Structure formats: C-alpha cells, structure tokens
Structure 1
Amino acid sequence: MTLSVQFLTMVSMIGGGLYLGMALETFRRFQKHWKENLFLVYFMEVSFWLTQVFILYFVLFQVNAGELRFYVFAACLLGFAAYQVFAANLYKRLLERMIIIIYRIYQFLRNVVNMLIIAPIRYMIKLLIAAVIFLFNLLILIVGFILKCIYIPLKWFFSMIYRLLPQKFKLFLHHLAGFYSKIQNICRKVLRYITAKRR
C-alpha cells in the first residue's frame, strides 16, 4: 500500500468516524418512537449497526480495496472522538432545526392535499349521497301519488259494486271478514307463544 493510499485511507476513516457520530446521534434522536417495543428496539439496533458497517467498509473498499489495518480503526475512532468534542452540539442544534423544517413542510403539504384533494372528494361524496336520498324520496312521492290515483277510483268502483250487492251477501262478507280476523289473531298468539318458549 503506497503512502498516498494510506493517507487517503486515514482521511476517509476520519470522515467515516465523523459520519458515524452524526448517524448515531440521528438514530438516538428517533429511538424514542420505537423504545416501547422490545422486538423493534433489537431489530432497529442490529439493522443500524449492520448498515453502518456496510457503509464504512464500502468506503474503505473504494479507497484501498478493503484492506483492514490497525490504523483504520484508530482513524475511525479519532473521527468519532472529534465529532463528540467539536461537532456534537452544533449537529444536535442543526438536526433539531432540520426536523422542525421537515415537519412544517409535511404539515403544509398535508394541508394542501387535504384542501385540494381530500376535502373536495368528501364534499362530492356528501353531495352524491344527498342527491341519491333526494331522488329516492322523490321516487317514493311519485309512486305514492300513482298508487293514490289508482286506489281512489278502485275504491269508488268497489264501493259502488258493494252497494249493489244483496243484503245477505253483505252479511256473508262481514262474517267472512270476522272469521279472517279471528284466524289472524290466533296465528299471532301462537307465534308469540312459540317465540316466548324459545327465549
């Protein structure tokens, strides 16, 4: 390994240590969102560290074909320590500012989507439901009017026929109606008795 490659490796690993410090700070900032779920805590921890190892080794592979030496780990630790001493407080403030900006952008986009897409769709659905209910009520009124127009002449016609019937036949119809009413009452009582027994 030449001196230039060794120098590039040192610089890359110091930068990798700085990156690792920022990545760890970001990870710890969002850790509270899954801290209650033990399985998710282990999963996120393992995933985070595997990802960081892969990224750092990929950088190392690009610089010196992935050759590991003691000074590689020392340089990475030096970069991490430099981040903790010189850049940790600045990055924390910057991270909080970025989170606030991103959250405000998200709220703005959500309000825009709600105003331009979701609210009109809800209004159209309500309007459609109101139109369907109105048409249904109108149909009921029309059908009721048609039935009344049919019922009144039929009632008048049958009442005229009933007046022309002999008195004995009228009495027979009255007895028949009374018998039908009795049968109906008996059926209702039997049905109530059966349902009461089932309970």
Structure 2
Amino acid sequence: MTLNVQFITMIAMVLSGLYLGIIQETFRRFSIHWRSRRVLAYFMEISFWLTQTLLLYYLLFRVNSGELRLYVFAAVLLGFSVYQVLVAKAYRWLLEHIIRIVLMCFRFVENVVNVLFITPVKFIIQVVVTCILFVLQTLMRIISFAGKLLLTPVFWIFRTLFGILPKNIQDNLYKSAGFYSTIKNTCRKWVKKILFKRR
C-alpha cells in the first residue's frame, strides 16, 4: 500500500469516525421512542451497529481494498473523539432545531389537509346523512298518513258490520281476539328471553 493510499485511508477513516459520532448521536436521540420495548430496542441496536460496520468496511474497501491496519482503528477513534470534543454540542443543538422544524412542517401540512380535505368531507357526509334521514322520515310520515286514510274507512265498515252481528258471535270474536292477543304477548316474551340469553 503506497503512501498516498495510506494518507487517503487516514483521512477517510477520520471522517468516518466523525460520521459515526453524528449518526450515533442521531440514533440515540430517536431511540427514546422504542426504548421501553426491550425486544425492539435490542433489534434496533444490533441492526444499527451492523449497518455502520458494513458501511465503514465498504468505505475502507473502496479506499484501500479492505486492508485492516492498526492506524485504521486509531483514525476512526480520532474522528469520533473530534466529534465528541468539537462538534457534539453544536450538532445536538442543530439536530433539535431540525426536529422542531420538521414537526412544525408536519403539523402545518396536517392542519392544511384537515382544513382542505377531511373537514369538508366530514361536513358533506353529515349533510348527506341528514338529508337521507329527513327524506326517510318524510316518506314514513306520508306512508303512515296514507295508511290511516286508507284503513279508516275499512275500520268503520268492519265496526259497522261488527255491530250488526248477533251478541253471541260478538262474544266469540272477543274471546278469539283475547286468545290471539295472549299468544302474541307470549311469543314476544319468548323472543325477548332468547335475545337476552344470547347477549
């Protein structure tokens, strides 16, 4: 490995250490969202470090064909130390600022979508449902009124005919009506009991 390649390797590994400090800080900042879930936390931690190891080794492979030397690890540690001493505080501030801006943009977009799409759709649905219910209620009232108009003359005719019938036939009809009413009430009680037991 030539001196030029060694120099490029050193620079690349120092920058890699700096990158590792930045990405590790970012990962720690977002890890609070899954820290309470132990299995997910282990999975994310292992995945993170495996990914970073592969990325660093890929960079090393592109620079010096993947030759591992002691100074490579020293350069990575140097870059990581530079981040901790000189960059960490400023990057934490910048990261929090970026997160705050992203959240503000997200809330703005959410409010715009809510105002322009969700709220009008809800209002239209409420208007449509109200109109349908009003039409159904109106139809039911019309049908009820028409039924009363049609059945009232029939009721009068049956009442007149019933009054003409002999007394014994009227008594038998009253008894039959009472019997059928008892059967009807009994059936209703059975249905209520069955439905109550199923619930």
- Is 1:136 the counterpart of 2:136? The answer is yes
Q: 2:10, 2:71 within 8 Å by CA — same for their partners in 1?
A: yes
Q: Deviations over 1:119-150 (max 9, x none)?
A: 11211221222122112101101211220121
**Residue range with higher mean Cα deviation, 34-43 or 150-159:** 150-159
Q: Output the CA distance in 1 between the equivalents of 2:186 and 2:175.
A: 17
2:145 aligned partner:
145
Q: Output the CA distance in 2 between the equivalents of 1:149 and 1:187.
A: 27
Q: Output the CA distance in 2 between the equivalents of 1:60 and 1:121.
A: 55
Deviation at 1:189, TM superposition (A): 6.4
Q: Deviations over 1:84-132 (max 9, x none)?
A: 1111111111111111111111111111111111111211221222122
Q: Output the CA distance in 2 between the equivalents of 1:26 and 1:12.
A: 21
- Is 1:76 the counterpart of 2:73? The answer is no
Q: Deviations over 1:147-188 (max 9, x none)?
A: 01211222233344445x35x2x5412332224304643775
- State the TM-score, normalizing by the size of structure 2: 0.86
* C-alpha RMSD over aligned residues: 2.3
**Residue range with higher mean Cα deviation, 112-121 or 15-24:** 112-121
- Could you say if the C-alpha distance between residues 113 and 183 of structure 1 is closer, same or farther in structure 2, counting changes exceeding 3 Å? closer
- Could you say if the C-alpha distance between residues 148 and 100 of structure 1 is closer, same or farther in structure 2, counting changes exceeding 3 Å? same
- Is 1:180 the counterpart of 2:177? The answer is yes
- Is 1:108 the counterpart of 2:105? The answer is no
Q: Deviations over 1:38-62 (max 9, x none)?
A: 1111111101101111111121122
Q: Output the CA distance in 2 between the equivalents of 1:68 and 1:110.
A: 49
- Could you say if the C-alpha distance between residues 128 and 161 of structure 1 is closer, same or farther in structure 2, counting changes exceeding 3 Å? same
Q: Output the CA distance in 2 between the equivalents of 1:56 and 1:190.
A: 80
Q: Output the CA distance in 2 between the equivalents of 1:31 and 1:99.
A: 14
Q: How many residues in Structure 1 have an aligned counterpart in Structure 2? A: 192
Q: 2:162, 2:170 within 8 Å by CA — same for their partners in 1?
A: no
- State the TM-score, normalizing by the size of structure 1: 0.86
SS at match of 2:26: helix
1:119 aligned partner:
119
Q: Deviations over 1:24-47 (max 9, x none)?
A: 111111222111111111111101
Deviation at 1:65, TM superposition (A): 2.1
Q: How does 1:91-106 map to 2 (within 5 A)?
A: 91-106=91-106
Consecutive unaligned residues of structure 2, counting only runs of 5 or more, are: none
Consecutive unaligned residues of structure 1, counting only runs of 5 or more, are: none
Deviation at 1:73, TM superposition (A): 0.9
